[in-house]
Amino acid sequence: MRLYHKLLFLAAGSLVACNKFLDVKPKGKLIPQEISEFNHLLDNQDIVQYPFLNNNSTSLMGYLSDNIELSEGVGKVYYKANNSANIDNYYAYTFRTPYRNPTLPDYYWNWGTYRSMKYFNNVIDGINNIRTNENAKEADAVTAQAYVGRAWSYFHTVLVYGPMYKPGGDNSTKTIPYVTSSDISAPMVNLSTTQEVFDKVLADLHTALPNIPENTNYPSRPTKAATWAMLAYYHLFTQRYDSVAYYANLSWTNATAKGIDKVMYDFNTLSYADTLNPLSSAILSPDSKINLPNSREILFFRNTDNRGGKANESYPSSEFIGLFDQAKDLRFKYYFMMAPGYKTTYNGVTYNDGTRLQYYRGATAMGNPKFQMTAGFTYPEVLLMRAEAYARLGRLSDAMNDLNLLRRYRFVIGTAPLAQPASPDEVINLVLQERRRELPLAHLKRFMDLKRFSIEPGKPWSKATVKHTLGAETFEGRVDGPLFILPISNTVLLFNPGWGIPPDNRPYN
């Protein structure tokens, strides 16, 4: 175990090659020698379980956003006074840096990104070493899935640990190492710039595209439709909206070839399994899979923060709640619940949040979330990416058609479709409000959107800063600045002095 951790840190948490530890196959361990064995590596839970989540499956990214708020009791007692294991959420919410202890290993880096790289890079390198003319088709299909998985991880990592990409601007900031070798004896690569990471992500996606399978055995494996969705998402950040429309349309039309009902739930068909106890009740769907990663709406599965938005962790912000039509939007019916809030007495002071509206979308019921969410992609998100691209390209009626199509599956039967506003910005804003309602409350999605919107000053969807309140106190963080960039932990920096980044010696208490 000591050897394992030493190697992990020497490689910045990234390069642990399964076939490099021992010369003989250990009992019960897989040292890949066949394509099928390399293929099996892509089903490892490490790939899907920890993207930007700590060991308690929460993510401070949601606490930097405007979707979440803390009460005074939750912040000052549950998190701070009790020195919560998730106190980084509190520090993020109050924009107090460093958010996490810089001397400890970084779960987002070690577990979320670079642990998964040991699988992707071993699959790519290992299969390339045994590729023949006879097995080329199978080899290409498996490596294509590894390329897409690698691209998804590095794309998010560069925007978590670096500044927002500036289309046509300066993207020369050194950010993260784009490790592509499975050889643990190879020298650690230098940091890539934001532009270099974007270029490499795009190259990985296009390398995969000709060979990626139409279908895979589980949504944790990327399909061609998921690869198109990732290309559409990538170009939202490059502001190439013609490419967003192109790839989102390919993904959506491919997925709906056999009918929209194959990839969308009509919320009018849902119900509570226990109508007398909706707080703890599972949600019934026609296929009984709405609470599983292979829910019909999930295109590409990566685990997300299911805990944000309900006591004791946090509450949905008033701004987020205000986005919903409480009478007609069935997402409000199923996602939000009135429930007892945080209550405690500390140092003679009683904190009582009373009954609060809370976000129960990811709450556990019968061993699974009520609704399975993803940090990857859903088919509704693909539809909304196409709608956003159409709106930004001036195809306003097409954008509204997509928007109203989604709403037919979310609102009570008989709800009138939205009328088309006159201005493009109004249409874009309607689409982005729908996107915010549709995506998970916490974790990556809103954090990433806030960063990409921050370089559109003056637009109704753009925020230069995010403001949080805690009792009578107000905290403010600038989105396009260092408060929305995570530093690399000292456990990685100390083994990579060539990067030229000094260790973070700020106190953490």
More confident residue, 17 or 185: 185
Predicted local confidence at residue 21, as pLDDT: 22
User: Which pTM was predicted?
Assistant: 0.93
Q: What is the pLDDT of residue 187?
A: 85
187 lies in a domain? no
In a domain, 37, yes or no: no
Domain assignment present for residue 306? The answer is yes
Instruction: List CB contacts of 320: < 8 A, sequence separation 6 or more.
Output: 66, 67, 68, 436, 441
Identify whether 112 is part of a domain. no
* Mean pLDDT to the nearest integer, 349-371: 96
Higher confidence at residue 28 or residue 493?
Answer: 493
pLDDT tens-digit map of 471-496:
999 999 999 999 999 999 999 999 99
Residue 9 is predicted with a pLDDT of: 36
Average pLDDT over residues 18-22: 27
Count CB-CB contacts under 10 A for residue 172.
Answer: 9
Q: Is residue 255 part of a domain?
A: yes
Distance CA 379, CA 244 (A): 15
> Quick one: average pLDDT of 374-396?
98
Domains identified in the chain, total number: 1
d(CA 425, CA 327) in angstroms, rounded, equals 26
* pLDDT computed for residue 502 by the predictor: 95
What does the pLDDT average to over 365-373? Answer: 95
Structural domain for 362, as ranges: 219-442
Over residues 58-75, the pLDDT tens digits come to: 999 999 999 999 999 999
Q: What is the pLDDT of residue 218?
A: 96
Residue 55 in any domain: the answer is no
Mean pLDDT of 311-340: 97
Q: Please check the confidence at residue 17 and state whether its pLDDT lies above 80.
A: no
- Confidence grade of residue 188 (pLDDT, cut at 50, 70, 90): confident
Give the model's pLDDT for residue 184. Answer: 83
Q: Nearest 5°: phi and psi at 505?
A: -105, 15
The percent of residues above 90 in pLDDT, for the chain, comes to 91
Q: What is the mean pLDDT of residues 278-301?
A: 97
* Residue scoring higher pLDDT (509 or 284): 284
For residue 286, the domain's CATH number is: 1.25.40.390
pLDDT at residue 12 tops 70 = no
111, 98, 180: which is closest to 504 by C-alpha? 98
Helix (H/G/I), strand (E/B), else coil: 473: strand
- pLDDT tens for 68-102 read 999 999 999 999 999 999 999 999 999 999 999 99
Q: Is residue 7's pLDDT more than 60? A: no
Q: Tell me whether residue 79 is in a domain.
A: no
> Is residue 227 a part of any domain in this protein?
yes
What is residue 11's predicted lDDT score, i.e. its pLDDT?
37
C-alpha angle 246-250-255 in degrees, rounded to nearest 5? 150
User: Strand runs (DSSP E) across 145-300, as ranges?
Assistant: 174-176, 192-193, 271-272, 283-284, 298-300
Asked whether the predicted pLDDT for residue 247 surpasses 70, the reply is yes
| For residues 140-163, average pLDDT | 98
Residue-averaged pLDDT of the chain: 93
